[in-house]
Structure 1
Amino acid sequence: MNFEILFVLLGLAGMLAALIMDKMRPGIVLLSVVVLFMVAGIISPKQMVAGFSNRGMITVALLFLVSEGVRQSGALTTIVKKLFPDKTTTVTKAQLRVLPIVSAFSAFLNNTPVVVIFAPIIKHWSKKVGLSCTKFLIPLSYATILGGLCTLIGTSTNLVIHGMMIDRGFEGLKMFDLAYIGIPITIVGILFIILTSKKLLPAERPDNFEEEEADAAMESGQHIVEVVLASRFPGLKRKLKNFDFKRRYGAEIKEIRQGGQIITENLGEVRLQEGDTLVLLADDAFTRAWGDSSVFLMITNGKDIPTRFVPAWKKWTAFALLLIMIIGATIGELPFTQERFPNVKLDMFFFASVTAVVMAWLKLFPPKKYTKYISWDILITIACAFAISSAMEESGLAALIAEFIKNVSGSLGAWGALALLYFVTLIITELITNNAAAALAFPLALETASKFGVDPMPFFIAICIAASAGFATPIGYQTNLIVQGAGNYKFTDFMKIGIPMDLIVMILSIILIPLIWPFTPTV
């Protein structure tokens, strides 16, 4: 083991430790490691910044704007409200009606806005029909994750792998390549949720906020508001007593739900974290001011869902633009289209760029505030992921680990290596973040395929699925964090249903991937 391998290995170990401790945002952690690798001469300045100009990374940024345009048009909210029956129903019937639609939406939209739209509506509806919202919120998050496995744009991880493939001279993923594996997984996953969630998910835990106090607040013109802290909330990592929430936002915190715990005493000592749910006492001015903010991911007053009037033409236009983007990118991948337009690459990057700009000019989202709708930390994480991948290859660490994977696989060969790579990627994504997991796994996939002398495509598909399918922990995926506080879930609630989900998806993937993408020997 030479100096470069040891240096990169220690750097990555430090990165994983920092991400698990969650002292800083993932973007700055990865950026720090990348700068360290550049200073050590393992990667060049050009390699360090290459990810910031990658088409996959920029496509992710554009899709944030497209998703926001659809969300603010109100089109999705209108459809969602019609999904839920007004009369009494059962958990199974309601899940069977809602979860497939959720997965379909999340296959083409960013998962977070889908959950942000659905979650408050589910909470209000479930209370109205006398069902426990805890039977729906984790399934909601899982359904969005499953849907994201079905298309190139379903999750940022798929676009990261796509961008890395193109950087290495491969063709990249087409819009529906992942559907061959994603759709069977989604069907089986939803069936598992419907059949087991009644037993594996907890009953709704009673609110500590008394009904009498809530009624008294209503009489004084105030009401109960629940907000989920987003990554842009300025008080993250600070104790509440050092952050004057009431002065800044005009609302009083009555309860904090953090990590499955409900905190009502000594609130000043609580250090606020991303994904915390705050139960507030606020008036209508708070909802008007912060109902469409990037500071809070979800707002509901527990009585009704605040909506604003949006012209009907905006709803139809948003959906039409989304369909044109999807159909255009799909047709643009066909050989016939590529022959007719040899000088223009009509891919997802092309159509996402056009769609985002048209939405801005039509003011489907406020063009003066477009930067607030982009998660810059995710983009920095993705851009740095490319540099980390280069460092692993340049140092020889990826080849060393690939040789170890080959030796451990033994008589199982490439199939065993695929299973091992999937498992390692899954563990990393459960502990840290999906894009960082993809960054670490991609060079391993490439080198492992090279060791066996086979096409790397099965390994690329495996890490696409493994890096996105994190069900067992609330930190494995941002949508899990959102619903954790909204549903008063404990960490163990995710493990009870999430570990079986992880195993089901893993087994299906390991069986199906080599059948769809065989281990074809390379020439």
Structure 2
Amino acid sequence: MFGISLEIWFVYSLIVLAVFLFVNKRISFDVTSLILLATLVVSGILTPAEGLSGFSNTATVTIACMFILSEGLRRTGALNIVGDWFFKLSQLNYRMAIFIIMMTIGVISAFINNTAAVAIFIPVIIGLSKDLGESASKLLMPMSFAAMFGGVCTLIGTSTNLLVDSIATENGLAGFGMFEFAPVGIIFFAAGFLYLFTMGINLIPERRKDQELTDTFEMQSYLTDVILNAQSPFVDTPLKNTKLIQDLDLDIVEVFDKDGTSKTDRESITLEAEDVLRIRGSVKEINKLLNREDVLIKPSEHWEDKDFEMGNAQLIEAVIAPESSYDGMPLRDIEFYKLYEAQVLAIRQKGKVQQDKLSDIRLQSGTSVLLYAKKERVNDIKTAEEFVLATEIDIPDLNQSKIPVAIAIILGVVGTAALGLLPIVASAICGVILMILTGCLTNEEAYQSINWKVIFLLGGVLPLGVAMQKTGAAQLLADTVITNLEAFGPTAVLSAFFFLSMMLTNLISNQATAALLAPIAIEASTSIGVNAEPLLVAVTMAASLSFMSPIGYQTNTMIFGPGQYQFMDFVKVGTPLNLLFWIIGTFAIPLFWSF
């Protein structure tokens, strides 16, 4: 131990720091990655070229292209048509719905970014649950898990596969083919399907039972209508200057005239006698209105979603996306009305509806936000990378005439890579160019579709893997694993890497897990004299199949709020599945990749 170089200790310290920051989340993971990169270069462990190698890595470029290709397919409306198709078939019964949802999402996720697929189908499945009379939570979790099942079946199904493939080729290995993961991936898919269809379906709780957003977010307790009396001193005063709202810390959701017509331009509204003010506030603040003579509280009524569709606005449920820049920000720092012309009415976080002191609440990935937004701006909210919409809306700008073109481009990318005509990175770049030239999406839409946080994450953590190999830190960790397990054979070593990757990805991102463990797996294979491929497959499969935590994989985070899940729901349903996959992976992987 005392013979370990200072460089190795330094790299180990950085790994510990990285894991702590990834878990803590006080600093976003892309910034954490850049801190790692800068530290490695400034310390002299890596040259500037080595430090920036993560951004030029073929996996990073390919993943950026896959974001664009998925967006091109989405903007044509191809996935919406698929959604409508399985929506009709799934209405037969609950078990048929589970079957069709899992098969459809699984197949789609094998060829496009699975987070994009899940984002599109969340509102569809919530709508389907209403028609079936089932809790949405009983459908959303199987969808998320199926997206992971499908993602491990192809090289492009998940960023982790591309990342490990790139690390393999950089270390002189052959890399993986487009469908090389399919045999084991299909085994995982079949096992996961059978588990969810039998045991798992009984473990998934019925969380989201209320069908109306007004019920889901318990609006009855913090929303009311008040009538402005003719004698009120606030009559003939601009809405934005009224002290009634400022004094009582209330928010005006909407203003109606005495005939019930919504006054839409908030900046120019002048209050008049008998105007109806729909206000949001705590029970304590609303009760203070009872003692005022200038307003009259209307009799309490049971709110329904249709009560908020009389004007040019509507209720929508938006989920803070896994890589949203709003993750960790207090609500007061986000000017929702200025940015989106939307008001925040309530927040559901950690399974509880928050209605009081909303401005102090720090948003988190997976948090559901109830918005009252102008209808013409709802599509802007849907396309913003900060959110995943859980409410079905009509999308006005779908370019359905380009559906055959977009599908042909995706098939071309897959086909040329599968046949070995082009490397996957070249095939993906060509696909992006064709998507833009054929008008499936614009240059601006292409840039906006890229999740730059993921790109910067890869740009920062890949050099850490280089540093681990360059300093010998990866070899030392590999030797530690081998010392304890070599006597049990290479299968035990593979099993250890699968288990370690499976557990670590529940704490940090799947990409970071793969980037950290893949170099160690390669060094371990060299030390025990076996092929590296089985160990690398174990790392990438386990990193992409995380079921025990809502933060372990992006699709789990996306359904956490809309499904009204609690953390332990994933532990109860996901732990048996992860243990099952650990056993299957230990014995199935060597059947297709020999030691």
Which residue number corresponds to residue 247 of structure 2? none
Q: What pairs with 1:105-504 in structure 2 (closer than 5 Å)?
A: 105-205=108-208, 206=210, 207=216, 208-210=218-220, 212-230=303-321, 233=324, 235-300=326-391, 304-308=392-396, 310-331=398-419, 333=420, 346-504=422-580
Indicate conservation of the 8 Å contact 1:124/1:305, yes or no. Answer: no
Q: How far apart are 1:403 and its partner, in Å?
A: 1.1
2:74 alignment partner AA: R
Post-superposition Cα deviations, 1:495-517, rounded to whole Å, max 9, x if no partner, equal 11111111111111111011211
In structure 2, what is the Cα distance between the partners aligned to 1:313 and 1:223?
29
| Structure 2 residue 95 is matched with structure 1 residue 92 | yes
Post-superposition Cα deviations, 1:163-191, rounded to whole Å, max 9, x if no partner, equal 11111111111101111210110111112
1:393 alignment partner AA: Q
After superposition, the Cα gap between the structure-2 partners of 1:118 and 1:385, relative to the gap in structure 1 and judged at 3 Å, is same
Greater per-residue helix proportion: 1
SS of the aligned residue for 2:26 comes to coil
SS of the aligned residue for 2:578 comes to helix
After superposition, the Cα gap between the structure-2 partners of 1:25 and 1:447, relative to the gap in structure 1 and judged at 3 Å, is same
Q: How far apart are 1:213 and its partner, in Å?
A: 4.7
After superposition, the Cα gap between the structure-2 partners of 1:412 and 1:261, relative to the gap in structure 1 and judged at 3 Å, is farther
After superposition, the Cα gap between the structure-2 partners of 1:354 and 1:86, relative to the gap in structure 1 and judged at 3 Å, is closer
Indicate conservation of the 8 Å contact 1:146/1:186, yes or no. Answer: yes
SS of the aligned residue for 1:285 comes to helix
Post-superposition Cα deviations, 1:405-446, rounded to whole Å, max 9, x if no partner, equal 112215312111111111111111110101100111011101
Indicate conservation of the 8 Å contact 2:167/2:519, yes or no. Answer: no
In structure 2, what is the Cα distance between the partners aligned to 1:312 and 1:393?
49
Range 113-122 or range 214-223, more displaced: 214-223
Indicate conservation of the 8 Å contact 1:146/1:189, yes or no. Answer: yes
SS of the aligned residue for 2:347 comes to strand
SS of the aligned residue for 2:428 comes to helix
Range 456-465 or range 384-393, more displaced: 384-393
In structure 1, what is the Cα distance between the partners aligned to 2:381 and 2:431?
27
Structure 2 gap ranges (5+): 211-215, 221-301
| Structure 2 residue 9 is matched with structure 1 residue 6 | yes
Which residue number corresponds to residue 507 of structure 1? 583
Structure 1 residue aligned with 2:39, among 36, 39, 45? 36
1:46 alignment partner AA: A
Q: How far apart are 1:250 and its partner, in Å?
A: 1.7
After superposition, the Cα gap between the structure-2 partners of 1:398 and 1:290, relative to the gap in structure 1 and judged at 3 Å, is same
The count of corresponding residues between Structure 1 and Structure 2 is 504
Q: How far apart are 1:263 and its partner, in Å?
A: 1.8
After superposition, the Cα gap between the structure-2 partners of 1:511 and 1:83, relative to the gap in structure 1 and judged at 3 Å, is same
| Structure 2 residue 57 is matched with structure 1 residue 54 | yes
SS of the aligned residue for 2:201 comes to helix
In structure 1, what is the Cα distance between the partners aligned to 2:366 and 2:50?
33
Range 196-205 or range 131-140, more displaced: 196-205
In structure 1, what is the Cα distance between the partners aligned to 2:108 and 2:593?
26
Post-superposition Cα deviations, 1:13-51, rounded to whole Å, max 9, x if no partner, equal 011001100012212212211221222222222211112
Which residue number corresponds to residue 73 of structure 1? 76
Post-superposition Cα deviations, 1:204-260, rounded to whole Å, max 9, x if no partner, equal 334123562533222344332011223675544222234332333222212212233
In structure 1, what is the Cα distance between the partners aligned to 2:567 and 2:62?
33
After superposition, the Cα gap between the structure-2 partners of 1:234 and 1:475, relative to the gap in structure 1 and judged at 3 Å, is closer
In structure 1, what is the Cα distance between the partners aligned to 2:512 and 2:54?
13
Q: TM-score, normalised by structure 2?
A: 0.81
| Structure 2 residue 152 is matched with structure 1 residue 64 | no
After superposition, the Cα gap between the structure-2 partners of 1:104 and 1:384, relative to the gap in structure 1 and judged at 3 Å, is same
Post-superposition Cα deviations, 1:92-143, rounded to whole Å, max 9, x if no partner, equal 2211122112101000000111001111011112112312111111111111
Indicate conservation of the 8 Å contact 2:322/2:557, yes or no. Answer: no
After superposition, the Cα gap between the structure-2 partners of 1:359 and 1:196, relative to the gap in structure 1 and judged at 3 Å, is same
Post-superposition Cα deviations, 1:133-154, rounded to whole Å, max 9, x if no partner, equal 1111111111101100000000
Which structure has the greater CA radius of gyration? 2
2:219 alignment partner AA: F
In structure 2, what is the Cα distance between the partners aligned to 1:90 and 1:408?
51
In structure 2, what is the Cα distance between the partners aligned to 1:182 and 1:236?
32
In structure 1, what is the Cα distance between the partners aligned to 2:9 and 2:64?
34
After superposition, the Cα gap between the structure-2 partners of 1:68 and 1:511, relative to the gap in structure 1 and judged at 3 Å, is same
Q: How far apart are 1:352 and its partner, in Å?
A: 1.0
Q: TM-score, normalised by structure 1?
A: 0.92
SS of the aligned residue for 2:52 comes to helix
Indicate conservation of the 8 Å contact 2:91/2:97, yes or no. Answer: no
SS of the aligned residue for 1:119 comes to helix
Q: How far apart are 1:87 and its partner, in Å?
A: 8.0
2:358 alignment partner AA: L
1:94 alignment partner AA: A
Q: How far apart are 1:317 and its partner, in Å?
A: 1.1
Identical amino acids, percent of aligned pairs: 30
Indicate conservation of the 8 Å contact 2:348/2:369, yes or no. Answer: yes
In structure 1, what is the Cα distance between the partners aligned to 2:98 and 2:569?
18
1:496 alignment partner AA: K
Structure 1 gap ranges (5+): 338-345
SS of the aligned residue for 1:291 comes to helix
1:352 alignment partner AA: A
In structure 2, what is the Cα distance between the partners aligned to 1:329 and 1:234?
34
Range 176-185 or range 89-98, more displaced: 89-98
CA RMSD of aligned residues (A): 1.8
In structure 2, what is the Cα distance between the partners aligned to 1:204 and 1:513?
36
